[in-house]
Structure 1
């Protein structure tokens, strides 16, 4: 089957023509039988169209809407179509004044199966590549200096039912962003960079692109299962949005906020970071352009609104909407350990990820039809980008405590599947030990091989049992994809960007190492990214996937990210051909 899909050719016949044809879903697409998608056919460079036919499996496709975006193009769109189990062949033929053109694409629809999981808790660590997991493991469970053995394992790595290594790419690039990768998990499709659950089209409107139905919409439509979305990033960020929204541009924040409450998903639980896109334009910090107040409007729709950890833990409603900051929720280190006013601002009582996970499950499990909960640790990525590995890794440790709670829940509820994976990786690597007694930015303090010794994390712990970053011997951690910056090897209680603008515009614009960091005592490093880069970037490295509980056997070995959607559907026994 894979060979048939990969080798399916685009067939062109007739005389030479200036017209070119594009068809979406693309050739080789795999969908669930019954999964809804928009058919989009675009003919560019058309000269006096004479005739056109579209057939699916030899029969004319009815209901196509024809448009003309510009004088030399013709488009046909059919919203909300689906196909039954099996292979399908869509043929498009066109005749214009310049000649004939034709194209054939082939799709495959997988059959519904019976699954054991009624409840799914999907954890996505944004930027959580294998090396990021390893860094968290090294800090949470240091090696025993008496024998060199690890003193334990992260919850996400222990007592596994199954595991996989996941490759990722986008429709238009080998490198990916959070929008298209989260969309791949949600829909099983390769999606454009910066796009959410849509295929390309030739119009400038970012909200009219052809759509593909994500797992959350399918569950709502077919079973009425509950849906929850949790993230410590600002609420309209790419990963949470991928489970409830459709747009070509992930920056359509206002529209994404609207789609949470007006779209097909309408999550029962929405516990997220920033409020910027949910408050009226007249409110301080808002980036909306209208007067919509989703805090007020959501309560009219039956949601209980919470804005602090205290309110969240006390809530017992059937539908929850929580906003806990004006923007991203600060890092675990800032909330639990440093507690600096420069980082926390006016927000003194924000939940931890395990709080939000627990409350989301308690709310969703009231639905007798089961639930799908996506929990994102978005701040891992937010701090890997600016090379602040300490903040990133301690957010992994916060995520791991949420995973630990979810695994305990799954043991008590054997119809539950728990998955831990990532959307993409970063270029982080642990390469040595560091002697902090020598101060910041001292290359001779970096020890490798036997000189690295055993870092002393865990000699002091916070109220939640997590180690403090300040200890006598730490790790030397770096990144492979970087701008010019200054390396101190140590963390800092107040976050600083690694670069600053050179103040120039146009072709002379560039970023320089942040002098405040350089002045701390640092090694200046020459970057390998273009001078216009101000931070690190995502990588094409593979991602971990850890599976626990019902249906975990569907996740094993090498997998493409799109496979996760189909494996979740198999685990849950999703039948997308049905409507409740």
Structure 2
């Protein structure tokens, strides 16, 4: 008997059941009519026998069966959509290991009244302007306010607030996570805002699959695609980062790998969104491989190609401000648009190169709105202050904070626009946070890198920002008393406490290869007079990283009541959909 039991256990172990994955994932939520690709994957398959796939008790039609490898079977059907209600997908799979069942339940919530009440319904918001400051946690907002509006040294009272903080209709704290991690990157977080789904790190608007091809993953439709398809609205994307970067790409492209820059650039013009306004950096992804600086692998020229599609092309601030086209495509740098400080105050040749006439974020916002507003159906505009994140990573808090001030001036312009266009909802939020924190004051008269110049509590005093201002009214960072600002997640680096006219990375390669490769503090910074900091990240880390800290969301105008309290990032998508009355079951 004992031998029989042992044999049975061995046979059972050898005949283990196949592993099933279903996408969309269990618990996914959609708006009515939102397109998604359904995919079922069976792995560790032995002698496949049968599969029954039903949705709400009915067999799913149109499924395409594939076998990516000898031990897998997959079924895919593209561009599905559902009506309001709860929907159940059931998969029963049988092979030599026996039957396996997987259930996924999806919810589609109404975004506007159904039935008779729909006859009297009018959406609250005709337009949406969504500002996303990449890396803008609550502490970064606060640091920007402390610089822009120093406390009154006579009594410690505030002297002002940022435009994003005043005249609020509502506000919320936003939590973030990704499909496969509690920590998030810009691709999946921006995708959550764009689709209402949890997405993998480094992926844009797609679910996982078991193929190597990064462009064939099952997709979920973006809010921008739906607004165009079902409501006839115009779409605009503005970013100070290179234009194929994660945040702008999340509103117009689909890929498992955010680094598919060439494919992302192509999807702007031949994808399902085709933004009417695209004002960005990063011309290297839009010019042919034969052009200096290009990183394309082909000879596609989207500067020429866009004009054949009816876009007016602009490449400078002067050209942008003079533009009158109904569709605009702007490229203002070969790569990222440098920081506000570099464009407006430092103006170093080593940073700006030949790009001496780049727009400010408020210029691009104003021209984008003026262009999109020609559509009587309304518009959706996403404006990204992309360089906040790109300067927080290398611990350059001054450049990051002044870019927040640049964004805030664009927000102020949008709020003025909304006064004469009261059907416009304005949102200001972020995709993820960084670990920036203001922890003291710094006596800059003592020079860089002096720990004894850091004051805390009453010894911090009152910084003197605003004693000098630039042509746009922004304070200059060089003043006698500044803030001591640090980061919680860092590599080893040297701290000077002060900014510098020329950007420097905090670390450099240690010159080693293989397992010993890593980074050490940048000797140029250490040589300025600095305190050497021992970091808390792996020595292979060159910069700081994102955090799981919550994000701000400031809301102005019609539909702002959809954003309050503590919300998950995916709820931003549904809040916008409700404000605009988005129901994508029909095409415009």
User: TM-score normalised to the size of structure 2?
Assistant: 0.96
SS for the counterpart of 1:325 is coil
1:52 aligns to 2:75 (yes or no): no
Aligned to 1:99: 98
Asked whether 1:339 is paired with 2:347, we answer: yes
Given candidates 119, 135, 142, the residue that maps to 2:143 is 135
Q: Does 1:565 align with 2:563?
A: no
User: Which residue in 2 is equivalent to 1:109?
Assistant: 108
Q: For 2:470, what is the secondary structure of its paired residue?
A: coil
2:285–2:294 Cα contact (<8 Å) kept = yes
Deviation at 1:49, TM superposition (A): 1.1
Asked if 1:218 corresponds to 2:254, the answer is no
Deviates more, 1:289-298 or 1:142-151: 142-151
Count of residues in correspondence between the two structures: 566
Aligned partner (choices 243, 249, 265) of residue 241 of structure 1: 249
CA deviation profile, 1:94-143 (whole Å, cap 9, x unmatched): 11122111111111011131530000000000000000000000000110
Q: 1:494 aligns with which of 492, 502, 510?
A: 502
Q: Distance in 2 between matches of 1:160 and 1:102?
A: 49
Q: How do residues 306-455 of structure 1 correspond to structure 2 at under 5 angstroms? A: 306-455=314-463
Any conservation in 1 of the 2:424–2:558 contact (CA below 8 Å)? yes
For the 8 Å contact 1:482–1:535, the answer to whether it is kept is yes
SS in 2 for 1:368: coil
Q: Gaps (5+ residues) in structure 2?
A: 1-13, 113-120
Q: Equivalent residue for 1:182? A: 190
Aligned counterpart in structure 1 of residue 270 of structure 2, from 244, 250, 262: 262
The one of 287, 298, 308 aligned to 1:300: 308
Alignment-derived partner of residue 27 in structure 1: 26
Deviation at 1:18, TM superposition (A): 2.9
Ranges in structure 1 where 5+ consecutive residues have no aligned partner:
1-14
Of stretches 43-52 and 427-436 in structure 1, the one that deviates more from structure 2 is 43-52
Structure 2 residue 171 is the aligned partner of structure 1 residue 163: yes
Deviation of 1:253 (Å):
0.1
Q: Which residue in the other structure is 1:7 paired with? A: none
- Which residue does the alignment assign to 1:8? none
Partner residue in 2 for 1:3: none
CA shift, 1:23, in A, is 0.0
Mean CA deviation greater in 450-459 or 109-118: 109-118
Structure 1 residue 360: deviation in Å?
0.1
Who is 1:5 aligned against? Answer: none
Deviation digits for residues 230-254 of structure 1 (CA, Å, limit 9, x no counterpart): 0000010000000000000000000
Question: What is the CA–CA distance in structure 2 between the aligned matches of 1:575 and 1:263, rounded to whole Å?
Answer: 21
Task: Tell me which residue corresponds to 1:4.
Answer: none
Q: Which residue of 2 aligns with 1:39?
A: 38
Deviates more, 1:347-356 or 1:94-103: 94-103
Aligned to 1:514: 522
Q: 2:466 aligns with which of 440, 443, 458?
A: 458
**Secondary structure, aligned partner of 2:241:** coil
Distance (Å, rounded) in 1 between the aligned partners of 2:154 and 2:508: 45
Equivalence for 1:10 = none
Alignment partner of 1:201: what SS?
Answer: coil
Per mean C-alpha deviation after superposition, the further-off stretch among 406-415 and 480-489 is 406-415
2:511 counterpart of 1:503: yes
Aligned-partner SS, 2:409: helix
CA contact 2:140–2:436 (8 Å) conserved in 1: yes
The Cα shift of 1:542 comes to: 0.1
Answer whether contact 2:15 2:96 (CA < 8 A) is retained: no
Kindly indicate whether the alpha-carbon contact (under 8 Å) linking 2:17 and 2:99 is maintained by their aligned counterparts in 1.
no
- 1:47 CA displacement: 1.1
- CA deviations over 1:494-551 (Å, ceiling 9, x no partner): 0000000011111101100000000000000000000000000000000000000111
Give the distance between the partners of 1:419 and 1:94, measured in 2 at CA.
45
1:350-376 per-position Cα deviation (integer Å, ceiling 9, x unaligned): 000000000000000000110000000
Q: How far, CA to CA, are the matches of 1:456 and 1:34 in structure 2?
A: 55
| Distance in 2 (alpha carbons) for counterparts of 1:527 and 1:468 | 29
Q: Give 1:168 shift.
A: 0.2
Does structure 2 conserve the Cα–Cα contact (< 8 Å) formed by 1:168 and 1:560? yes
Check the 8 A contact 1:17/1:100 in 2, yes or no.
no
Query: Quick check: 1:16–1:100 contact (8 Å CA) kept in 2?
Result: no
Deviations 1:389-443 (A, max 9, x none): 0000000000000000001111110100000000000000000000011000000
Contact 1:17 1:101 (C-alpha < 8 Å) held by counterparts: no
Cα offset, 1:578, TM superposition: 1.6
Alpha-carbon shift at residue 16 of structure 1 (Å): 6.4
Could you say which residue in structure 2 is the equivalent of 1:89?
88
Distance 1:483 1:112 in 2: 46
Please give the alpha-carbon distance, in whole angstroms, between the structure 2 residues aligned to 1:33 and 1:278: 35
State the match for 1:277 in structure 2.
Answer: 285
**Structure 1 stretches of at least 4 aligned residues deviating more than 4 Å after TM superposition:** none
Q: CA RMSD in A?
A: 0.8
Deviation at 1:55, TM superposition (A): 0.5
CA distance, structure 1, for counterparts of residue 92 and residue 196 of structure 2:
28
Secondary structure of the residue that 1:163 maps to in structure 2? Answer: strand
